[in-house]
Amino acid sequence: MNILITGASRGIGLATAKKLAEKGHNIGLFATNTATLESAIKDKTFKKPIKQQRIITGQLDVTQPDSWDNAIKQMIEHFGGIDALINNAGVLVSGALPTTNLDEQLALIDVNCKGVLIGCHKLAPYLADSKDGKIINVSSASAIYGQPEVATYAASKFFVRGLTEGLNIEYEKLGIKVIDVMPLWVKSDMTADIEVTSMDRLGIHLTVNDVAKTLCKLTTSPNRKLKSTHYSVGMPAKIFQAVSQVTPDSVIRWVNTKVGA
Q: Is the dihedral of CA 103, 104, 108, 110 positive or negative?
A: positive
- Terminal Cα distance for the chain, rounded: 44
Closest CA to 201 of 221, 188, 184: 184
**DSSP secondary structure string for all residues of 8-33:** TTSHHHHHHHHHHHHTT-EEEEEES-
* Torsion, CA 101, CA 105, CA 108, CA 109, rounded to 10: -160
Catalytic residue among 126, 153, 171, 231: 153
Question: Side chain identity at 237, as an amino acid letter?
Answer: A
Distance from C-alpha of 11 to C-alpha of 6, rounded to nearest angstrom = 11
Beta 134-138 vs 177-183: how paired, if at all?
Answer: parallel
Q: Cβ contacts of residue 218 below 8 Å, gap of 6+?
A: 134, 136, 179, 181, 226, 231
Catalytic residue list contains 153:
yes
Residue 2 is which amino acid? N
Backbone angles phi, psi at 222, to 5 degrees: -60, 145
| Helix or strand run (H / E) with residue 199 | helix 197-202
Active site residues: 153
